[in-house]
Amino acid sequence: MTELWLKYTDENGGFQRVLVERDKFVVGRHSENDLSIPSEKISREHLKIERFGDVFIAADCNSSNGSTLNGKDLNERATLKNGDSLNLGGGLKIEVELVSGESNSRSASPAGFAGNLTKSKNETPSFANIPTASKSNSSADTGGIPMSFFYLAPLFGIGILLFLGIIAFIFSGNSKTKIAETDNEIIYSSDPDDTPTIEKETNLTTDKTPKPTIVKSGNSNSDSTPEPENTPTTAPKNLPDTVKIEQNSASFLRRIAQNDPKAFLTSEQAQILNSKIKQFSGSAVLADNIKSAKTNAAEFQSLAAAKNLKPQFLAVAALAKLGSQRGNVLQTAQSMTEVLDKLSTQVGSELANDNLLVIAAFDQGAAGEFLKMRNMLQQLSNQFPESSRTIRTIWFLHQKGKISEAQFEFALRFLAIGTITQNPKDFNVTAEELKLN
C-alpha cells in the first residue's frame, strides 16, 4: 500500500519526516491536530489530507493565510503527487513523498542479496566464473565441484540466514513498532490508538497509550515535547478569548470587504482588540441593537446595494456609532450612508483594511474632508519603505501617530462590535449572529 510522508523543517531548523497514517489527517496550529505547527501564520486547522485507497487528497480548511500547491493557490481539493510542494500560509513548507509498498520492500532488503530476490525458485547460483587455484585442482572439465565452492558456500548461507532474519523481524506480528529506516523518520506504534505524540527515539514507551516518536537530526539531547495524554477528539467549547477573536474577526473582515477572502488579524492585533471587546461583553444594549439590525436585514441590503457598500459594513458602522446607547440602527445607518459612500470612493473598499480606514476617517468625512485620508496615504507611501498594504492599515497609522486616538478608537470599536456580531454568544451577548451577506 502507498504511504504518504510529509517532509519539512521545524521551527528549530530540524528536518522532520512525518508519516500520514490516518484516513483524515489535519495540519494546523492547534495541539489537537495530527500535525501541530506552532506558527502564527498557520491557522488552528489549516490543511486536511484525506486518504482514498492509494490516493491522497489535500484541501485548505478555509485558513486565514491560505495554502499553495506547487506555487498555485489551493482553492479546491487536489490530488497529491510525489515531489509536490505545499506552502501553508508562508509559515510551513512541506515536500510530499509518496512511497509504494513495493518500494518499501526493496529498500528494506540488504544490498548484498537484492540480486538473489529476482532469481526464480528453480534457478541455481552459477559458479562457473569463479577462478580456481590452478588447472590441476580444477574438476570443472570432469563434471566435479570446484574447490572454491566449499569456501564461498558458507558465506552465502550465512547471508541468506541473515536476510531471512531481518524479514522475519520486520513482519513479525509481535513487534510493537515500525522501524525507522533513516535518522529522520517517525516511529509509530501499531496499536489502534493513533493520537500523535512527539518523543525521543530512545524513549519507546511501553505505556498502554502508544505514541509516535519524531527522530530529529542534530543534537540528540534536545528535549522532547509530548502532547497531553487522552487528547479529546472534539474541539473544546471553552476556547481562549484570543482564539475566538481571531476566528470571528476573520469572518467579519471578509464580509465587509469587496474582495478580500484571506483577511485576518495577527495574534498581536487580536490582543489589542480583546480589551475593546471586553467593554461590550455581556452588553444587553448591544444585544438589543443587534436584534434591531437583524430585524431590518432586507432594508440594510437594499440601502447598501444603492451605494455599492456591503450590508454587513453598513450595519456594523451604525452599531459602532450607537456604541453603548440603544437606538434605531437602520435610521443611524441612513444618516451615515452618504459620508461612507464618498469616503469609500476616495479611500477604497476592496480590502478589509480599506474599510477600517474609512471608519477611522468618518469624522473627516462628516466635516466634508473626503480627500484628507487619501492624500495622507499617498504621501506616506513615498516616505516609508514598507509596502502599500502595510501602510494602508489603522495599525500602521496609529503606530506612526498619523491618526488620532479618537479615530483609532472608533475603528477599534467598529472592529470589536463586528467581531461580536459573528457569534455573540462567544462574548456573552444574548443575540443571534448578524451575517447580512
Tens of pLDDT, residues 308-355 = 999 999 999 999 999 999 999 999 999 999 999 999 999 999 999 999
Q: For residue 229, give the H/E element and its range.
A: none
pLDDT higher than 80, residue 201:
no
pLDDT at 170: 76
Give 18-44 pLDDT, tens digit per residue: 999 889 999 998 888 899 998 888 888
**Do 60 and 66 contact (CB within 8 A), yes or no?**
yes
As given in the structure block, the three cell numbers for residue 365 are: 468625512
pLDDT at 398: 97
DSSP code, position 189? B
Bigger pLDDT: 51 or 40? Answer: 51
Strand ranges, E, within 238-320: none
> What is the CATH code for 1-108+182-235?
2.60.200.20
**Cell numbers 530512545 correspond to what residue?**
202
pLDDT at 204: 38
As given in the structure block, the three cell numbers for residue 225 are: 515535547
Please give the share of the chain, as a percent, with pLDDT higher than 90.
55
Give 360-369 pLDDT, tens digit per residue: 999 999 999 9
Strand ranges, E, within 183-310: 186-187, 213-214
- Helices and strands counted in the chain (H then E): 15, 13
Give the 3-state secondary structure of residue 6. Answer: strand
Q: How big is the chain, counted in residues?
A: 437
Question: pLDDT confidence of 159, banded at 50, 70, 90?
Answer: confident
Give 76-86 pLDDT, tens digit per residue: 889 999 999 99
Please give the share of the chain, as a percent, with pLDDT higher than 70.
72
Mean pLDDT of 206-211: 42
**Do 413 and 356 contact (CB within 8 A), yes or no?**
no
Question: pLDDT confidence of 143, banded at 50, 70, 90?
Answer: very low
- Chain centre to alpha carbon of residue 70: 16
Measured from the Cβ of residue 366, the count of other Cβ atoms closer than 10 Å reads 14
Highest mean pLDDT among 167-176, 207-216, 263-272: 263-272
Cα–Cα distance measured from residue 128 to residue 119, given in angstroms and rounded to the nearest whole number? 17
**Do 290 and 280 contact (CB within 8 A), yes or no?**
no
pLDDT at 149: 60
Domain boundaries, the chain: 1-108+182-235, 241-427
pLDDT at 131: 40
pTM (predicted TM-score) = 0.51
pLDDT at 172: 63
Cα–Cα distance measured from residue 377 to residue 355, given in angstroms and rounded to the nearest whole number? 14
Mean pLDDT of 135-156: 54
